[in-house]
Copies of this chain bind each other. A is one copy, B any other.
Amino acid sequence: MSKYCFGVDVGGTTIKMGLFTVEGDLLEKWEIPTRTEDQGSHIFDDIADAIKKKIADKSLSKEDILGIGVGVPGPVDVNGTVFQAVNLGWGNVNLPKELSERTGLPVKAGNDANVAALGEQWKGGGQGYDDMVLVTLGTGVGGGIIVNGKMLVGAGGAGGEIGHIHMNDEETEACGCGNFGCLEQYASATGIVRLAKEKLESTDTESILRSQPLSAKSTWDAVKAGDALAKEVAEEFGFYLGKGLATIADICNPEIFVIGGGVSKAGDILIPYVQKYYKKYVFHASASAIFTLAVLENDAGIYGAAKLLLE
């Protein structure tokens, strides 16, 4: 019986790798650089070589290894086919085939945000819950949805793209995607800074935020210090995110929302701001959903990738 599996999280600059037991214990983790030159064609060899080297170094037998799971920054369908991971230089790629041929091991692949959700559900903030939503508040807003223990992948691998839910008909500034009023324009780190800037420009209210460089972190620090203007920003953030998550709940009826990404480093303080509007807008069937913070941080991807093998 197989005892180990590899979890691989391919990013635009580094590839994170982990050797796990099939029970989910992370035995070792390491990184290699992502070589995006030549349409990212070296990435397959680089991952395969790193894994073969680890197998040799550890004197593992191939029979002991269940396979390799991989998270990729781009849409990936249920069969592991990647559609244009632009940050890697890839066109359409049959990743399981490419990596299997090079390693002789079974390979599964998924979108990195969806895979991270699977990781948080397996060994992180969502442990024990079969129906979970991971919300990643970073430069943008990403998401991964777990339905009955499995990733919601979608027809084209774009399931869980919650950052682009339309939230505001009045928005005049365009989102990176070209639409106007997407969730990530209000709930990402960038979005919070934008809300804070607008608030600072539209009033004369005294605020700590006037005397320091504006960031999502400085905004939440000001909230913690009791700054009234920063609290108004947090309220607006909570309005959009809470309302957005209520919509997701009406559709997917999860037991738990796990909030991760850089913004979540603010800690538990952000949860009541989100929950207040969540409860206002959600259909009663999902009103009791739990809100918690992610715990695996940058390792969620390798955990989830390893878990792909166990599905």
Q: What is the interface of chain A, defined by CB distance below 8 A to chain B? A: 75, 78, 129-131, 145, 147-148, 150, 152-162, 164-166, 177-179, 182, 243, 246-248, 250-255, 281, 283-286
- Given A165-B251, A247-B247, A250-B165, do A286 and B148 touch, yes or no (CB 8 Å)? no
Partner of A254, one of B145, B155, B164, B248: B155
A157 to B130, CA, bound (A): 13
Interchain nearest-CB distance for A138 vs B (Å): 17
User: Could you tell me if A160 and B254 are in contact, using CB atoms closer than 8 angstroms?
Assistant: no
User: Could you tell me if B158 and A246 are in contact, using CB atoms closer than 8 angstroms?
Assistant: no
Closest partner residue, chain B, to A175 (CB atom): B283
25 CB contacts below 8 A, A to B, read: A78-B148, A131-B154, A147-B147, A148-B150, A148-B153, A153-B253, A154-B254, A155-B254, A156-B285, A156-B286, A158-B253, A159-B252, A159-B253, A160-B251, A161-B253, A161-B285, A164-B283, A165-B247, A165-B250, A166-B243, A177-B283, A177-B284, A247-B247, A247-B251, A251-B252
Count of this chain's copies in the oligomeric assembly = 2
User: Could you tell me if A158 and B281 are in contact, using CB atoms closer than 8 angstroms?
Assistant: no
Residues of B close to A145: CB separation below 8 A: 251
User: Could you tell me if B161 and A283 are in contact, using CB atoms closer than 8 angstroms?
Assistant: yes
Closest partner residue, chain B, to A78 (CB atom): B148
Interchain nearest-CB distance for A172 vs B (Å): 15
- Given A281-B166, A284-B178, do A253 and B147 touch, yes or no (CB 8 Å)? no
Residues of B close to A284: CB separation below 8 A: 177-178
Residues of B close to A160: CB separation below 8 A: 251
User: Could you tell me if A162 and B255 are in contact, using CB atoms closer than 8 angstroms?
Assistant: no
User: Could you tell me if A285 and B75 are in contact, using CB atoms closer than 8 angstroms?
Assistant: yes
Residues of B close to A251: CB separation below 8 A: 145, 152, 159-162, 165, 247-248, 251-252
A286 to B148, CA, bound (A): 23
Residues of B close to A131: CB separation below 8 A: 154-155
Residues of B close to A75: CB separation below 8 A: 285
A131 to B152, CA, bound (A): 10
A164 to B150, CA, bound (A): 25
Partner of A164, one of B78, B148, B250: B250
